[in-house]
Amino acid sequence: MKERISVLFIERGEIDVIDGAFVVLDASGIRTQIPVGGVACIMLEPGTRLSHRAAALAARVGTLLVWVGEAGVRLYASGQPGGARSDRLLYQAKLALDENLRLKVVRKMYALRFGEEPPARRSIEQLRGIEGARVRRSYQLLARQYGVEWKARDYDAQEWDTADLPNRCLSAATSCLYGVTEAAVLAAGYAPAVGFIHTGKPLSFVYDVADVYKFETVVPVAFKIAASNPVGNPERAVRLACRDMFRQTKLLDRIIPDIEEMLAAGEIPRPEAPVDSVGPALPNLESLGDAGHRA
């Protein structure tokens, strides 16, 4: 996972497998090959058509496909390459179902996010309130730093064009972060829906994990793009900036080890994988010793 490109967006093209390659065919007939096995997440925007063979190849190599709306801000559906493994899922569920264990994990998430231990003897609801206040303050500080007029985090996914520029940039940026985070969660064998801070949503655990990185990665990028007041398509400018930032910060190196650290805070042993469990889509086998060969 850590060696992959973080995210690609594809729009207005037919995706198929031709001569064994994952190919996008545009309206003029031009073919563009996509190194599908080297991408963590592919966002499919309106105007794309995906063949059965292409979907099967993406699942086989462990690349997450996400069907999104215009500018990548509405999530319609997503694939699940590999999916949750029973040993990891049971471990995650045990931590989430026990309130004491869950609180330990939540406290670790806050410690990783804010760089300090949260206040002692606080419930999860109280920690949510503290987190909400800090988030609102962080938005205000970043808006002031980049010279952006900021009112509040407010947008309607069904009425996208009614949101102001900073909110549109933030939504585009967080959609990129959620995509690569979901890909990492699935690659690690955990369930996106079994969250600790967020609950009751299909991507609760994805939101939990992504929030650890949000204000050090995509939120500053969104405010920087909003401050430049780009002409035409600000969401595309945000996506390109996020892609570059993911590469520069080596985010994909960090997500899976950090997930393991968060869950280890529950202080219960992780069960051993069954002998017949399904391994990763791209096993990290011993290198051939040649820099030109992938392990």
Residues 49-62: pLDDT tens digits?
Answer: 999 999 999 988 88
**Chain segment 221-251, per-residue pLDDT in tens:** 999 999 998 887 888 899 899 989 998 888 9
Look over the chain and give the mean of its residue pLDDT values, rounded to a whole number: 86
Which pLDDT score is estimated for 288? 47
Residue 62 confidence (pLDDT): 84
Residue 157 has pLDDT above 50, yes or no: yes
Look at residue 291 in the predicted model and tell me its pLDDT.
Answer: 45
Question: Among candidates 199, 188, 200, which has minimal Cα distance to 280?
Answer: 188
pLDDT in tens, 173-214: 999 999 999 988 988 889 999 999 999 998 999 999 999 999
User: In the predicted model, is pLDDT for residue 290 greater than 50?
Assistant: no
Is the pLDDT assigned to residue 280 strictly greater than 60? no
Q: 247 or 160: whose pLDDT is higher? A: 247
pTM for this prediction? 0.82
What tens digit of pLDDT does each residue of 253-270 get? Answer: 999 999 999 999 999 998
Find the mean pLDDT for residues 135-142.
94
Residue 294 has pLDDT above 50, yes or no: no
3-state SS record for the chain: CCCCEEEEEECCEEEEEECCEEEEECCCCCEEEECHHHEEEEEECCCEEECHHHHHHHHHCCCEEEEECHHHCCEEEECCCCCCCHHHHHHHHHHHHCHHHHHHHHHHHHHHHHCCCCCCCCCHHHHHHHHHHHHHHHHHHHHHHHCCCCCCCCCCCCCHHHCCHHHHHHHHHHHHHHHHHHHHHHHCCCCCCCCCCCCCCCCHHHHHHHHHHHCCCHHHHHHHHHHHCCCCCHHHHHHHHHHHHHHHHCHHHHHHHHHHHHHHCCCCCCCCCCCCCCCCCCCCCCCCCCCCCCC
The larger pLDDT score, comparing residue 154 to residue 131, is at: 131
| Beta-ladder partners of 14 | 25, 49
pLDDT at 164 over 50: yes
Q: What is the pLDDT of residue 237?
A: 92
